[in-house]
Amino acid sequence: MAFYMNVKLIDQGVIASVLKMPRVIELMGDAYAELSAGTVDSPLRTALVNEDGTVLYKPAYSGASGIFCVKVVSVFPGNVEKGLPVTPGIIVVNRAETGMPVAILEAGYLTSLRTGAATGLATELFAKKEAKVAALFGTGGQSRHQLEAMLCARAFETVYVFSRNPENAERFCRENVDIAGGCELVANPDRKVLKRCDVITAATTSPEAVFEWDEIGDDVHVNAIGSLGPKRTEISAETLLNSTVIVDQRAACLKEAGEICLMRDAGLVGDDYNPPEIGELLNAPELQQKPTVFKSVGNAVQDLVCSAEVIKATEAHNIGVTAEL
Amino acid sequence: MAFYMNVKLIDQGVIASVLKMPRVIELMGDAYAELSAGTVDSPLRTALVNEDGTVLYKPAYSGASGIFCVKVVSVFPGNVEKGLPVTPGIIVVNRAETGMPVAILEAGYLTSLRTGAATGLATELFAKKEAKVAALFGTGGQSRHQLEAMLCARAFETVYVFSRNPENAERFCRENVDIAGGCELVANPDRKVLKRCDVITAATTSPEAVFEWDEIGDDVHVNAIGSLGPKRTEISAETLLNSTVIVDQRAACLKEAGEICLMRDAGLVGDDYNPPEIGELLNAPELQQKPTVFKSVGNAVQDLVCSAEVIKATEAHNIGVTAEL
């Protein structure tokens, strides 16, 4: 029993210093390629539930990443009133060769970053090259990285920011000037601007569509990363039925994405509905008929590739606190 | 993203200082009561496998414990040659009320301790009160706590120690004099002593019975905590068929305990084989017809109750290192 393990503790600050958005967008390419190729092992998550909330355990492994990881993330809505995060989480990393636990990472920042990067990758792949105008729905915890990722993917001149609460949109624009660079952030514009948007990203908790089909242009690319669960959708069925839909993982989206589940429940698509995965289109020519809609429910492989990159960087540069256990 | 979490890091030394065997034996009573009453949520473990080993994720929750926990434990046989533990592990604890991650515990010491305590509880419940002579098979990582637990349960005068490798038995006896107190530890005795043993504990990796039915007495209590998996058994079918068998969890033992699976595969017991659980016999009078055999495959609820006790103690006395994540 005398053996002690050295476990590296990696906080948000360390992750922010070693994982930059352009690189994370590249990593999402690796992640989705592995996911679609079936070379990653990411079994069904386990959920433990009590009257206050849920703790989710999401494990994943791939040989290419060189690590095992599990994200332990809680969903406790009542934490808002306690001044605590609603979805606190950590990631535990074990080394592939020895199974030794090597690191504990704060998960919230990394999750937001990789979810943004998924939007970044989809925008790179599916938005038109000369895209100049974008819209962002939602100004919650995920939205800063959604904006940053869009700005990495295309040289936007204007991003319109929509929120149910106009003050939130104004605050968001003020607080994100630092990453906007030469791009103008405009809070609460007239909805008519949606027709001119080349890209629209939805990152809300809305139960129903945040824009209608007749509000948008016919060569737009849409990213939809919010509205978790099979009963909520950010995007209208009409928009989806008139677009090329691309998903992060077919099996997961057919089960968990309200965008798709609600269409199926309404009989608008059949049980054989079969949208392509982004990992299948990484090297495809620009073949998607516009509009395009990328729907992501998130996958443990995104955490896996990011965690592997963080571990590599912290080991190479000897960053992070090492604890003996 | 500015919120930081405080996570307590709890190493073997801290666990050893706050969790003493007599108390852990009591805790096993709570654990098995919850397990048999069905008030603990311990879903199927998830296993991720590569060519070198397996990482197991074992989550558990109960309202009474006040925590969620998951044990992340690896099994990498090749670690021996690398000077690393073969089954390194940690436990991640989240608070029941908020889901916040609150602690990371080293898992190896705690696992050994609680596995010992299971033997201690079974010995308290099923061994005859005046037991004086015991035998211990196996001198690996689990055996010190197996010995300690037996000594907590009964006032043994002699414990005979058996190992495939006689030198290991001698070393074990030398190294455990400190916990033996007035009890004599005897390495590699003549096997005839088995007839006089009141308690026999098997904690080996043996694929087959480590003693035969005709070698033991007819009022012995046997603990069997080793030989993991449905294809390995430490105890012969003849011994089991002539004894009252008690298990830690029926469903798990019918699936994972070689002692039972091999008997069923051989047609010696039917699919309706239905041994009682220790949690059902906590308050029973001394009704078990001897010999008795307690078979344990281990359950996450044992880790849960121990982790809860450690968290309580470290918070009450402000022990352990707190890291910000």
CB atoms within 10 A of CB A183: 21
**Residues in chain B closer than 8 A to A94 (CB atoms):** 55, 72, 74
Please write the tens of the pLDDT for every residue from B191-223: 999 999 999 999 999 999 999 999 999 999 999
* The residue type at B36: S
Q: What percentage of chain A has pLDDT greater than the value 70?
A: 98
**Average confidence (pLDDT) over A58-71:** 97
Dump the DSSP string for B298-325.
--HHHHHHHHHHHHHHHHHTT-SEEEE-
**Residues in chain A closer than 8 A to B49 (CB atoms):** 41, 61
* pLDDT for position B288: 63
- Facing B1 at nearest CB: one of A59, A78, A109: A109
pLDDT reading at B158 higher than 90:
yes
Please write the tens of the pLDDT for every residue from B34-47: 999 999 999 989 99
Interface probe, candidates B55, B81, B322, chain A, greatest A C-beta count within 10 A: B55
Question: Which segment of B2-16, B142-156, B247-261, B308-322 scores lowest on mean pLDDT?
Answer: B2-16
Residue linked to tokens 């960053």: A319
Ramachandran class of A216: left when φ > 0, alpha when ψ lies in -120 to 50, beta otherwise: beta
Interface contact B98-A79, CB threshold 8 A: yes
- In chain A, which segments carry CATH 3.40.50.720? 127-298
pLDDT reading at A287 higher than 70:
no
Q: Domain spanning B126-299: which CATH class is it, in words?
A: alpha beta
* pLDDT for position B287: 60
**Do A319 and A19 form a contact (C-beta atoms < 8 A)?**
no
Please provide the average confidence, as pLDDT, over all residues in chain B.
Answer: 95
d(CA A301, CA A39): 10
pLDDT reading at A1 higher than 60:
no
Kindly report the backbone phi and psi dihedral angles of residue A35, in degrees, each rounded to the nearest multiple of 5, phi listed first: -60, -45
β-sheet bridge partners, residue B51? none
Nearest to B121 by CA among B213, B216, B221: B221
* pLDDT for position B145: 98
Please write the tens of the pLDDT for every residue from A294-317: 999 999 999 999 999 999 999 999
pLDDT reading at A284 higher than 90:
no
| Min Cα separation A69/chain B (Å) | 9
**Do B293 and B213 form a contact (C-beta atoms < 8 A)?**
no
**Average confidence (pLDDT) over A156-174:** 97
Interface contact A1-B109, CB threshold 8 A: yes
CATH number of B6-110+301-324: 3.30.1780.10
Residue linked to tokens 């929120």: A163
**Residues in chain A closer than 8 A to B53 (CB atoms):** 98-99
**Average confidence (pLDDT) over A206-229:** 96
**Residues in chain A closer than 8 A to B12 (CB atoms):** 1, 4, 325
* pLDDT for position B290: 84
- In chain B, which segments carry CATH 3.30.1780.10? 6-110+301-324
Do β-strands B184-187 and B199-202 pair in parallel, antiparallel, or remain unpaired?
unpaired
Interface contact A57-B57, CB threshold 8 A: yes
CA angle B27, B9, B66 (to 5 degrees): 40
* pLDDT for position B216: 98
d(CA A75, CA A265): 26
What DSSP character marks residue B193?
A: G
**Average confidence (pLDDT) over A172-181:** 97
The tokens describing A11, both together, are 């906080």
Please write the tens of the pLDDT for every residue from B77-116: 999 999 999 999 999 999 999 999 999 999 999 999 999 9
Q: pLDDT band for A143, please (50, 70, 90 cuts).
A: very high
Interface contact B94-A55, CB threshold 8 A: yes
Please provide the average confidence, as pLDDT, over all residues in chain A.
Answer: 95
| Min Cα separation A48/chain B (Å) | 7
Dump the DSSP string for A102-161.
EEEEE-HHHHHHHHHHHHHHHHHHHS-TT--EEEEE--STTHHHHHHHHHHHS--SEEEE
* pLDDT for position B160: 98
CA dist list (Å): A316 to A41, A100, A304 = 26, 18, 18
**Residues in chain A closer than 8 A to B5 (CB atoms):** 85, 88, 90, 106
The tokens describing A3, both together, are 């053996």
* pLDDT for position A2: 59
**Do B58 and B42 form a contact (C-beta atoms < 8 A)?**
yes
Annotation: CATH topology of A127-298: Rossmann fold (3.40.50)
Interface predicted TM-score (ipTM): 0.92
* pLDDT for position B143: 97
CA angle A168, A173, A178 (to 5 degrees): 135
* pLDDT for position A4: 79
- Facing B92 at nearest CB: one of A72, A79, A96: A72
